[in-house]
């Protein structure tokens, strides 16, 4: 079953790092188009009080070959962008995982990406490829094709869901682990004993719920 993931990444790890460092209040989105070749989507929508200045910053990016404004409004421009051949570490990891980018919006100096993967395994593989390349995306949500959150279970308490999400994002389940139990407990603001119990009970409840729903083979 394919999965959708919403992740948050720093601009330096994706595209337009210099632009969003200077113009962090701008809202920039990659327009979804049907891909006819390799590379990033060619259209950007730039919303800002001074979109012309932001578009000049985009044109000066080292990864941009040229730009053309196809729409000029008072507070919104649409740019056609020809990107260079350089690929960021994140784009390389996404390509290796055969991921599809369904949407990309930058607000407050941060990119928010909606991605589709063939399976949870592909998502996990992509996440670890990112870590290997020094990129640490923040996974905000994982949703199956049936619309259900991967961590959404009636058997999970709010505390267990928070502990599991934090553990996953922090690399607690990675091999080797990227955060210790004590470090994870510090992030949760609880004792290491309490953190261990929440994770153990949460995983147990998730497995029980998945087996009962028939989503795992016994």
- Report the alpha-carbon distance of residue 50 to residue 19 in Å, rounded: 13
Read off the pLDDT of residues 56-97 as tens digits, 9 standing for 90 and up: 999 999 999 999 999 999 999 999 999 888 778 898 899 888
Q: What is the pLDDT of residue 205?
A: 76
Assess whether 26 and 115 both reside in one domain.
Answer: yes
Q: Is 209 a domain residue?
A: yes
Assess whether 133 and 43 both reside in one domain.
Answer: yes
Assess whether 106 and 14 both reside in one domain.
Answer: yes
Assess whether 87 and 119 both reside in one domain.
Answer: yes
Q: What is the pLDDT of residue 13?
A: 92
Q: Is 218 a domain residue?
A: no
Read off the pLDDT of residues 167-212 as tens digits, 9 standing for 90 and up: 988 888 887 888 999 999 999 999 999 999 999 888 887 777 656 5
Assess whether 100 and 130 both reside in one domain.
Answer: yes
pLDDT band for 216, please (50, 70, 90 cuts): very low
Q: Is 147 a domain residue?
A: no
Q: Which of 142, 177, 194 is the last residue in one of the domains? A: 142
Q: Are 15 and 63 in contact, with CB atoms under 8 Å apart?
A: yes
Q: Are 32 and 103 in contact, with CB atoms under 8 Å apart?
A: yes
Q: Which of 142, 175, 202 is the last residue in one of the domains? A: 142
Q: What is the pLDDT of residue 75?
A: 94
Assess whether 207 and 128 both reside in one domain.
Answer: no
Assess whether 101 and 156 both reside in one domain.
Answer: no
Read off the pLDDT of residues 96-130 as tens digits, 9 standing for 90 and up: 889 988 889 999 999 999 999 998 788 888 888 88
Assess whether 162 and 55 both reside in one domain.
Answer: no
Q: Which of 79, 111, 142 is the last residue in one of the domains? A: 142
Which CATH number characterizes residue 202's domain? 1.10.10
Q: Are 124 and 168 in contact, with CB atoms under 8 Å apart?
A: no
Q: What is the pLDDT of residue 217?
A: 45
Q: Is 107 a domain residue?
A: yes
Does 36 score more than 60 pLDDT?
A: no
pTM passes above 0.75? no
Assess whether 126 and 101 both reside in one domain.
Answer: yes
- Report how many domains make up the chain: 2
Closest residue by Cα to residue 111 from 17, 40, 43, 22: 17
Assess whether 98 and 161 both reside in one domain.
Answer: no
204 or 29, higher pLDDT: 29
Range of the domain at 7: 3-142
Assess whether 78 and 183 both reside in one domain.
Answer: no
Percentage of the chain surpassing pLDDT 70? Answer: 86
- Report the alpha-carbon distance of residue 70 to residue 207 in Å, rounded: 51
Residue reference for tokens 């994140």: 90
Q: Is 204 a domain residue?
A: yes
Assess whether 67 and 157 both reside in one domain.
Answer: no
Q: Is 193 a domain residue?
A: yes
């Amino acid at each position: 079953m394919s999965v959708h993931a919403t992740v948050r990444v720093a601009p330096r790890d994706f595209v337009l790092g210099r632009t969003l460092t200077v113009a962090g209040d701008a809202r920039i989105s990659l327009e979804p188009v049907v891909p006819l070749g390799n590379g990033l989507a060619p259209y950007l929508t730039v919303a800002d009080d001074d979109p012309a200045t932001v578009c000049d910053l985009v044109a000066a990016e080292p990864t941009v070959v040229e730009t053309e404004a196809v729409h000029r409004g008072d507070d919104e421009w649409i740019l056609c962008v020809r990107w260079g051949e350089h690929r960021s570490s994140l784009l390389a990891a996404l390509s290796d995982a055969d991921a599809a980018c369904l949407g990309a919006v930058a607000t407050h100096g941060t990119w928010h990406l909606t991605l589709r993967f063939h399976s949870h395994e592909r998502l996990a593989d992509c996440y670890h490829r990112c870590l290997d390349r020094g990129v640490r995306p923040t996974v905000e949500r994982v949703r199956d094709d049936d619309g259900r959150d991967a961590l959404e279970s009636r058997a999970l308490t709010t505390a267990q869901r928070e502990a599991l999400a934090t553990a996953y994002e922090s690399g607690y389940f990675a091999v080797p682990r990227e955060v210790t139990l004590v470090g994870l407990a510090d992030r949760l603001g609880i004792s290491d004993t309490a953190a261990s119990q929440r994770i153990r009970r949460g995983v147990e409840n998730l497995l029980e719920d998945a087996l009962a729903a028939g989503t795992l083979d016994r």
